[in-house]
Structure 1
Amino acid sequence: MIKYLGTPHIETDRLILEKFQLNDAQKVFDHWLSDERVADNRINAAHKTISETIERVNKIVTGYESEEFCYWAIKLKDSGELIGEIDLYDFDKVTENCEVSYSLGYEWWNRGYGTEALRAIVEFGFRQMNIHKISAAHNTDNPASGRIMSKAGMVQEGIIRDMIRNSKNQYKDCAIYGILQEEFNSKNFVLQQGTN
């Protein structure tokens, strides 16, 4: 049975994962939601106005009222800089499975932060929440995201053609990844440090 714990504070070697605050909206807008390079890998279009981002952050903050809402701001431990987001969602009470998604600001790509955050959330999902399986998907034209998933122990299970349609009305194939709790346990995963 899934043990819902909301969005607790989690620390890794270089990151702090914690709840968003209402006053984070400007940085969320500046660092990734208004950036077309990041939006190319998301379903929703880049935000054009800060008011769109304020509305979205308000919705996230309101979501924290539920123990079933798991949505973290990703911050650098040394500076407190807000660099991205990661969440667990689509919990299935029958299978005890869920999905994970994440976004990082372009300035912080290719530094191992995505891998570090994903490993922390996968570990939390299995060890604290008792999730059975965690799945994720990425556009096939974004292989870097697949490398993050692989480094977190996930394995590619297949490709779904035209899985999403982005804001530019383009269909995109997506690679599906997953990891089972028993795989996580058998690989004796420990929270990896640094940029592995």
Structure 2
Amino acid sequence: MINYLGTPTLKTERLTLRRLVLNDARSIFDNWLSDERVSDNRISPAHKVVSETKERVANIVNQYSRRDYCYWGIEISETGELIGEIDLYNFDNKTENCEVSYSLGYHWWNLGYGTEALKTVVEFGFSQMNIHKISAAHNTDNPASGKIMSKVGMVQEGTIRHMIRNAKNQYKDCAVYGLLQEDYLKKKIE
């Protein structure tokens, strides 16, 4: 059975994964949600005005009272700079599976932050929440995201053609990855 714990603060060597607050909206807008380079890898379009981001953050904050809501802002601990977001979602109580997604601001790509955040959330999901399987997907034209998934032990299970339609009305093929709790724990012990 999944042990729902909400969104506790998680720490890594360089990062603090924490709940978002309403005052984060400007940083979120500036650092990733208004950036076309980031939104090209997301389903939703880049935000044009900060009020869009404020509304989105308010919706996230309003859900933190739910135990089955796991949504973190990714913050550089040393500077307090908010650089991205990561969440566990789409929980299935029958299979005890869920999905993970993440976004990082363009200026923080290829610095290991995505891997560090994903590794921590996967560890939390398996060790604390007792999730059976965590899945993720990335657009095939964004192989860097697949490298992050592979670095934390996720395995590509296939490709789904035209899995999503982005904000530019383009269909995108997605590579689907997964990791089972038993495989994760086995590798951790070795």
Category of TM-score, reference length = shorter chain: over 0.9
How many Å separate the matches in 2 of 1:73 and 1:188?
A: 26
* Partner of residue 46, structure 2: 46
Residue aligning to 2:141:
141
**RMSD, aligned α-carbons:** 0.9
**What secondary structure, in the 3-state scheme, does the structure 1 residue paired with 2:188 have?**
coil
Q: For structure 1, which runs of at least 5 residues remain unmatched after alignment?
A: 191-196
Counterpart of 2:8, as a letter, is P
| Separation (CA, whole Å) in 2 of partners of 1:137 and 1:188 | 23
User: 1:174-193 counterparts in 2 under 5 A?
Assistant: 174-188=174-188
Residue 56 of structure 2 is matched in structure 1 by: 56
SS in 1 for 2:178: strand
Indicate whether 1:99 and 2:99 are aligned: yes
| CA apart distance, 1:164 | 0.2
Tell me, what secondary structure is at the counterpart of 2:137? strand
Runs of 4+ in structure 1 deviating by more than 4 angstroms, as ranges, are: none
Q: Deviations over 1:46-105 (max 9, x none)?
A: 000101000000000001010100000000011110000000000000000000000000
Secondary structure in structure 2 of the residue aligned to 1:187: helix
Report the equivalent of 2:67: 67
Identity over aligned pairs, percent: 69
> Are 1:81 and 2:81 counterparts?
yes
Residue 164 of structure 2 aligns to a residue in which SS? strand
Tell me the amino acid that sits aligned with residue 53 of structure 2.
Answer: T
CA 1:189/1:32 → structure 2, altered by over 3 Å: closer, same or farther? Answer: farther
> Aligned pair in 2 of structure 1 residues 189, 148: CA closer, same or farther (>3 Å)?
farther
Counterparts of 1:119 and 1:171, CA distance in 2: 29
- 1:151-166 matches, within 5 Å, as 151-166=151-166
- CA distance 1:83–1:16, change in 2 (3 Å): same
Name the CA distance, whole Å, in 1 between partners of 2:115 and 2:188. Answer: 17
Shift of 1:189: 6.4
TM-score normalised by length of structure 2:
0.99
Partners in 2 of 1:62 and 1:178 — Cα distance? 29
Q: Can you list the C-alpha shifts for 1:106-151, whole angstroms capped at 9, x where unaligned?
A: 0000000000000000000000000000000000000000000000
Task: Tell me, in whole angstroms, the C-alpha distance in 1 between the residues paired with 2:10 and 2:167.
Answer: 33
**TM-score, normalising length from structure 1?**
0.96
**Structure 2 unmatched runs, 5+:** none
| Alignment correspondent of 1:194 | none
**Residue equivalent to 2:119:** 119
Equivalent pairs, count: 190
Q: Distance in 1 between matches of 2:189 and 2:37?
A: 32
For 1:124 and 1:189, locate their aligned partners in 2 and report how far apart those are by CA, in whole Å: 16
What SS class does the counterpart of residue 57 from structure 1 fall into? helix
